[in-house]
Structure 1
Amino acid sequence: MKTTLLAGALLALTGLGTAQAQVSDDVVKIGVLTDMAGVTADITGKGSVVAAELAVKEFGGTVLGKPIQIIAADHQHKADLGTTIARQWFDIDKVDAIVDVPNSAVALAIQSLAREKKKIVMYSGAGTTALTNEQCSPYGFHWTYDTYAVSHGTAAAVVKAGGSSWFMLASDYAFGHQLQKDATDVVEANGGKVVGSVRHPLNNADFSSFLLRAQSSGAKVIGIANAGNDTINAIKQAGEFGLTEQGQSLAALIFFLQDVHSLGLKATQGTYLTTASYWDRDEASRAWSKLFMERTGMMPSMLHAGVYGSVLHYLKAIREAGTDDPDKVAAAMKAMPINDAFTKGATIRGDGRVLREMYLARVKKPADSKGPWDYFEIVRTIAPEETVWPLSESKCPAVAKP
């Protein structure tokens, strides 16, 4: 009788453990929604897919005994197309989480859908602060950077170095609008002045008319508030117009390793930027970046590193929660510190914003570079409290005001 009772108790405990370790549809499926051929393809795109795959490989390929699958699609910087893809992924393809999502307009559309569907999304490529502010979601995580972070890191440094008057050249969509606003706030808070601004279409080829307006403004600094190929084209054409030779400086409010690689050190030397990661920081980042280089032919952008880190943390949270249930996984993600090849001891705030150290970097002079991709000098480490807005200013209903 005692043996029978003991066996029954053990069976009940085993059944309880099995019930707790649950994976819907017997697979954890993660969708990389990215830009495969557009303005941000070099800093996201196929590299983001590889980053997600490397995270899965590092984790071991399975979670809770079930396989992990990575799928990918190109949203083409269209909010309606991005939403259509996400809806099919959620409703038909049974995707559990989405990562990357460059383009803030697309990200905001996905945020609304994912909140409705109770699906986790981890944004590495999008920059708008609205994702963790007025349009926050219990299932949304802003992973790598936002416009507040990069503008506070870069604009403040330039103003303090003497760049007191600015002209803003911004891309005409949600990301550019927010970056322009955040940078303007920083410039003015530090005693500078924005004397003019102009907005250009996404994926713009000809910046001549915009740069002429910037030139005629007489501003000491031209703030480049865009990303990807738009940043490259704007800086390249500014050089062709001789703006820096005539005494104006360029401040790229968001600038990537791939942008420097495309433009060259001669054209970009001395440019300040704020970054969430750099491939050559330590042994762990160098080792991971070598694997990435073998797959892609380039070193990772901070957005690639963010996709890798977000996927790895998501899988760890599933393991910790014993299920892929989005509510339980989201809670585990917020309870656990973030540790990966690029990030040590970061945390997630109640609004979904990752609180991480960032770095003020300066592009090296050609003579100081040891070779391809050796482009950044880290000037200083920026504490998380310098790059996130205080909760007292938050409009996210999920967080309590201090």
Structure 2
Amino acid sequence: MKTTIKPLVAALAMITAAGAHAEISDKEIRIGYLADMSGAYRDLGGPGGLEALNMAVEDFGGQVNGAKIVVRSADDRNSPDVGANTTREWIDQGKVDVVAGLVSSAVTIAVTRILEDTNRFGLVSISASSAITNEYCTPNHVHWVYDTYAMANGTAKAIVKEGGDSWSILAADYAFGHAMEADVERTVLAAGGKVVSKARHPLASSDFSSYILQAQSSGAKVIGLANAASDTVNAITTAKQFGLTDSGQRLAGLMVFISDVHALGLEATQGMQLTTGWYWDQDEESRAWAKRFFERTKRMPTMVQAGIYSSTRHYLQAIKDTGSDEAQVVRKQMLATPVNDMFTNNGRIREDGRMVYDMSLVQVKTPAESTGEWDLYKIVRSIPGDEAFRPLSESKCKLVDTKLAGKS
């Protein structure tokens, strides 16, 4: 009789455990949106990114399998301490399940460590450092949209092929800028070019005069800007004031967003080539979603704002499909499900957490070519995902067996 009962008890225990596992904790899905809401990177994600996240929540009817979706947000002020403390408070007091947004790479690295320690989840859509799914990968976050490897690989490689084979790199002096500088230099050298000078500036610099003069005097054919947002805008404005491009040198914005081009205007940016993961006018589905976003914000979305919507929908769909908000259950489902939406039709998430998909090399239109305020890009070519992003065979991620990764 005992031998009959034991298997029965074991089977019942497994069924009970499985049933408990496939539940949404507290009958709520709690999302924390953490981003720069008031500083240098406000226009990239910021309030617009929160709007995109809310659009994804609304498209699920505000609930998943009867569990209400609750969204909270905070300004991390680009401070790792603020970001980490906010995340701990959200988890300890607010029982937050997932942290989305995440801008500064230093903030993201601090936050994802906490997410791993507490088994919560992270949807990284704004941070750029390729280290986030390389040496700083965790089983508790995924990285959407772009990274420094992909942006450098797309833009720098194209410019070197066109003859821009000597570079001066101006980088932001923090984790993202350092990663971008390294990835640009690697790409330039691999393509047969050389880097003749490098300089670094503080985040949110107001005066780029000395940096631009130094780059100008280097004699480099290309001045590569390994910075973003207001720093990129200020550097390009200063370069134009000093007549850098008039002297035959070329300016390469390595992390340029549609918000930057819009702010600078086509006169200052026309002809510039850049890499983007998404453009509002790339197809019918992107145009339809961008129209919805514009009606709410009166601005066209950046690629990261579109990515925030996409990553949030993919996360919520995984909860719906599994009936659970447990981080590892959700992650497994997200990795098993192709990304096919208004953002991309061929995305996939690798074991290192990197979402891989086709990106685009675009060129900024001339004023004569543009038909409207936000008609800013023309697509030069598609960059296949496996070409754009770091191959797993080169990965330092603890989740990847490079012997098995081959050249994937």
Could you state the TM-score of these two structures normalised by the residue count of structure 1?
0.95
1:350 correspondence with 2:351: yes
Equivalent residues of 2:346, 2:358 under 8 A apart: no
1:144 aligns with 2:145: yes
2:125 is aligned to 124
- Deviation per CA, 1:220-275, whole angstroms, max 9, x where unpaired? 10000000000000000100011001111100001000000000001000111111
Q: Is the 8 A contact 1:225 1:254 kept in 2?
A: yes
Q: Using the alignment, how far apart are the partners of 1:381 and 1:234 within structure 2? A: 28
TM-superposed CA distance for 1:16, in Å, is 9.6
Identify the residue that residue 333 of structure 1 maps to in structure 2: 334
**1:189-228 paired onto structure 2 within 5 Å:** 189-228=190-229
In the other structure, the counterpart of 2:5 is none
Q: Give, as a single letter, the amino acid of the residue that structure 2 aligns with 1:318.
A: I
Residue by residue over 1:16-67, the C-alpha shift from the partner in whole angstroms, topping out at 9 and shown as x without a partner, is: 9975652111110111101111111011100010000011112222101111
Separation in 1 of the partners of 2:252 and 2:120? 37
Give the residue type in structure 2 aligned to 1:336.
T
Q: In structure 2, what is the Cα distance between the partners aligned to 1:348 and 1:17?
A: 25
Tell whether the 8 Å contact from 2:35 to 2:101 is kept in structure 1 after alignment: yes
Alignment: residue pair count: 389
Amino acid at match of 1:279: W
1:368 match: secondary structure: coil
Counterpart for residue 267 of structure 1: 268
**Per-residue CA shift, 1:324-372, capped at 9, x if unaligned?**
1111011111111112212113110001000111010110011000101
The CA distance in 2 between the partners of 1:56 and 1:272, in whole Å, is 34
- Which residue of structure 1 aligns with residue 91 of structure 2? 90
Equivalent residue, structure 1, for 2:4: none
Structure 2 counterpart of 1:91, one-letter code: D
* Cα distance between partner residues in 2 of 1:293 and 1:356: 25
Measure the CA separation in 1 of the matches of 2:195 and 2:21.
Answer: 56
SS of match in other structure, 1:366: coil
Deviation larger for 52-61 or 255-264: 52-61
Matching of residues 3-402 of structure 1 within 5 Å: 19=20, 21-401=22-402, 402=404
Rounded to whole Å, the distance in 1 between the matches of 2:102 and 2:215 is 31
Distance 2:236 2:61 in 1: 42
- Which stretch shows the higher mean deviation, 185-194 or 385-394? 385-394
Which AA in structure 2 matches 1:142? H
* Higher mean C-alpha displacement, 266-275 vs 390-399: 390-399
Distance 1:360 1:321, change over 3 A: same
Seq. identity, %: 49
Name the aligned partner's letter for residue 364 of structure 1.
Answer: K
* RMSD of aligned alpha carbons: 1.4
Measure the CA separation in 2 of the matches of 1:142 and 1:18: 30
d(CA) in 2 for partners of 1:367, 1:70: 43
Displacement after TM superposition at 1:294 (Å):
1.1
Residues 189-221 of structure 1, C-alpha deviation per residue, up to 9 Å, x if partnerless? Answer: 111110001000000010001111001101110
Deviation at 1:15, TM superposition (A): 9.2
**CA–CA separation in structure 1 for the residues paired with 2:195 and 2:22:** 56
Question: Structure 1, residues 63-116: CA drift from partner, whole Å, max 9, x if none?
Answer: 011111121111001001100001111111111101110111111111111111
CA distance in 2, matches of 1:17, 1:160: 55
- What TM-score do you get using the length of structure 2 for normalisation? 0.93
Dislocated runs of 4+, deviation >6 Å: 14-18
Aligned amino acid, residue 67 of structure 1: K
Which residue is 2:9 aligned to?
none
5+ residue gaps in structure 2?
1-14
Query: Which of 139-148 and 339-348 deviates more?
Result: 339-348
